[in-house]
Copies of this chain bind each other. A is one copy, B any other.
Amino acid sequence: MWKPDRQSRKPVYEQITDHLEQRIAYGEFPPGSLLPSERKLAEQLGVNRSTVILAFSELRALGIIESRSGSGTRVSQHKWGATPRHTPNWKRYAEGGSFLPNVPFLRRIREALQQNPSLIDFASGELSGDLSPLNEIAALMREHHYASYLGYVDPQGYMPLRQALVAYLDKYRGIQTTESSILITSGSQQSLFLITQCLLSPGDAVAIEDPSYAYSLPMFQSAGLRLFRLPVDHDGMCPDDLHALYKKHRIKMIFTNPNFQNPTGMVLHEERRAKLLEAARELGLPIVEDDPYSLTDYNGLTRPSLKSVDSTGSIIYIGSLSKIAASGLRIGWMVAPNAIVERLADARQQMDFGLSVIPQQVAAQFLSSEHFEPHLDRLRMQLLYKRDLLIEALQKELPDAVQYEIPQGGIHMWCKLIPEIHDAKLLEEAIKHGVVFVPGSVYGSDSGFVRFTFARAKTEDIGPGIARFAKALRTLTP
């Protein structure tokens, strides 16, 4: 990102004028397009708003931009050459298509984090760098000759990684399968995308948890799916309504995250598992088991997968390295009947031609290496430690303002706020105070809930982060 050079003898506003003129000339902002607001540009460039106002007035004087009150500042239409020329109406294209934009809260959080990297981050659902096996992976990359093959990979994914996953799934998730039933995807995210795009049709009804990670994903709505809710409490999702939902809406699929659910952190109770499987069997309904968190269990490797106890083949199982190793590897997997795996592998070829072979090689090596188990042991201890730091801070800073169940695994904590506060106001105030979280409504719940992810922030930032949050909250409660 370009920033003005404060050592330069050229005044900052002139640097900004030249920089913007250049970007406009490059076609980044075509004739007629909207420029970022003065406020936003000032934030991005780290200057006063008055400096940007000055730069804009220079550009206006040059005839390069035009401002009309109320409708912002635009690049002039007739700047480029003598004859009027027609630039495509890019705005209309950007607003076209059936794919919905991301949830505004999530875009706001991303933007805030980009603008101010010193925000304490309870929003990003990932591990901090020190929880990822960075040294182990670096060592593997030095030892192995990864670049010995760099052609297009098998549509289902790199065979040695699928082989490593056969062993992994057997050992850690009680799942017996073969390489031909596995599809490697860009994290669980791409597995979910392929399922919603390629196995379901617009108008289809599906059951999802409430609250659920799925609500944060416009992909469900972009695919035209009708969403029906199964409430989640401290025993996980309640499957009682399934028959009624099926009767009324002919639901086509059930999505669940049974272990250390995002966002609640809760585990699906054994009786409910049996009920869920029984209902799926009776109704002939597939279940998508999204299982990225199981191996973070603070008490050891105890929670079975649904798939390991399913005897009817009703389950599409999804896993990922994102929450147990590193999200930046972008390695996930799906286990499903052959017909499904082949169909989705074929569709994925159209979308991106498959994943790079390098992270697949790294993942295969890492899963089979002697580093994997010690890493998991360490990860679980560190997550438990961070969870406890968060609870301690909440007890100290917000003793009467939040309620929560204590999760036994995973990376999220779900809190109910006692004072009634508007989601958007609280988020903006928190950003001002130097901390971000995700408002519960992003996951489909009523307002008044907050998801704190405790894996991403540094250990020493968890206490101060909650102190900032508490301050923001107090500002809004009289």
Contact = CB atoms under 8 A, between A and B. Distances in A.
Interface of A: 1-2, 22-23, 25-31, 33-34, 80-81, 85-91, 93-99, 101-102, 107, 110, 114, 124, 126-127, 129, 132, 134-135, 137-138, 141-142, 145-155, 159, 176-181, 185-187, 189-190, 193, 197-202, 217-219, 222, 280-286, 310-315, 325-331, 337-340, 342-343, 346-347, 349-359, 362
Contact of A152 (B199, B311, B327): B327
A178 B137 CA distance: 32
A344 to B, nearest CB: 8
A11 B146 CA distance: 38
A218 B201 CA distance: 17
30 contacts: A23-B180, A26-B177, A27-B310, A28-B180, A28-B337, A30-B312, A30-B337, A31-B313, A86-B284, A88-B284, A90-B286, A90-B337, A93-B199, A93-B200, A93-B340, A94-B343, A96-B199, A98-B197, A124-B151, A124-B152, A134-B147, A135-B147, A137-B147, A150-B328, A152-B327, A187-B353, A189-B351, A193-B351, A219-B351, A356-B359
Contact of A150 (B30, B147, B327): B327
A338 B462 CA distance: 36
A35 to B, nearest CB: 9
Contacts of A22: 176, 178
B102 A350 contact: yes
Contacts of A1: 159, 179-180
Contacts of A135: 147
Given A80-B312, A186-B353, A343-B101, A286 B147 contact: no
Nearest to A36: B338
A202 B137 CA distance: 44
B353 A355 contact: no
